[in-house]
Structure 1
């Protein structure tokens, strides 16, 4: 029997959208538990992993340029080039810390409840002008590339993890792949024109994030 999916509701109900996508890609609590299992493996490697991620962003002028712009919260920052303290350095270090916090939350979240789903949605929204600041407008292509490269880095960590047998490595890679798929969908829906930005998960407060991974 073919299951009916309400296309309109998919564009207006975040939980409904997530439930459909999860069912389609077979993302369930076992995958969440596997992400939790990866936490103690990935956490010690996070500084080096995030460093590689931002080194990649700095290796292309189209992505590096975002870190040279003076953004909210850094308007009065005093530049001191003599000691290597520049605006782009401070802003990049701040973004690195934010990305580390984001990854830690992904790996430690025990239940992907409505509040957490809203958090993932907000990660997508905050990189667009829809997030509340017209100054923030990172092309979707760069966001997609960022998460694609993140997936490669995480896969590398899993592949080299001596504490995981081959079966666990396979399960871990599948869980990471599904997480990237879900986050990427929550990116694309805010870059497109079909998502109703006024809607969210029912009866929960809107997650207010003011800083993104680029700016």
Structure 2
């Protein structure tokens, strides 16, 4: 009887339940599929100063776009894109909400407040993606848009979240590719790395909207943890996030909390200390300790980079 031949290709096993119950396992799968590696971390780290210089203009472009459509502008006054009340002529509250959305401008207090957080969020995208809390915060961003994780719930439907991420990626790609001081190889590396991060964020948005994996989710209400905005598991995540500013912008008292469901038992170890704080640090070999604008050992500066 002939011997059974081994498969000619490597088959990587992915546990389906882990994808829905263990954030670290889900992130590892996404990293593997997208070939997210130390090269991407290096591109994000060394290119962060260029991205941060572009962020104010990018934020203005994004909010100009969001205010062009009544359904997205409405979210800044009703905290929901799924308002289904009667037409304005039939309902005073609906008319008031519509009028308030139409009166919003880029200089309105709530828009200035949201710009502040978008600037901090975009800067976060260029921080240290070898740390699990980087990805855990992106997961929390998805959670906060389905009415969870906030003292004052926000409901934004996925169609708007997905297209907004695509618009942000488009604006950032154009800004990077047209940068006068970056060499083409660095532009390509930075665009690729940011694209992977944004698409992982897209997945972490979608996972809170789709019903995939419902059979693995715990039944009943999860225990709620009260946290301030811009925090994850008691740690400040967004640089420049300001709870006092949020209270002023929304008319609430200082320290307005958000409600964060505790991680499930399958993933709690990743944030409780039994797993390493930097579970993806292995891919950052040769990148740790790299300051913004510095190059890894052996990197040769090109004339374009030196310009």
Contact residue 158 and residue 209 of structure 2 kept, 8 A: yes
4+ runs of 1 displaced by more than 6 Å? none
- Within the candidate set 30, 33, 45, 1:24 is matched to 33
Partners of 1:65 and 1:21 in 2: how far apart? 33
Mapped pair 1:118 → 2:185: no
Mapped pair 1:46 → 2:55: yes
1:151 Cα offset (Å): 0.1
Partners of 2:177 and 2:69 in 1: how far apart? 28
Relative contact order (C-alpha < 8 Å, sep 6+): which is higher? 1
Q: How does 1:23-172 map to 2 (within 5 A)?
A: 23-69=32-78, 89-107=108-126, 109-132=127-150, 135-172=153-190
Contact residue 120 and residue 186 of structure 1 kept, 8 A: yes
Greater CA radius of gyration, 1 or 2? Answer: 2
Structure ranking higher in helix proportion = 1
Structure ranking higher in strand proportion = 2
Q: CA RMSD in A?
A: 2.5
Secondary structure class of the residue paired with 1:129: coil
Secondary structure class of the residue paired with 1:5: coil
> Which residues of structure 2 form unaligned runs of 5+?
1-9, 81-102, 218-260, 273-307
TM-score w.r.t. the length of structure 1 is 0.81
Contact residue 50 and residue 96 of structure 1 kept, 8 A: yes
Residue of structure 2 equivalent to 1:3: 12
TM-score w.r.t. the length of structure 2 is 0.58
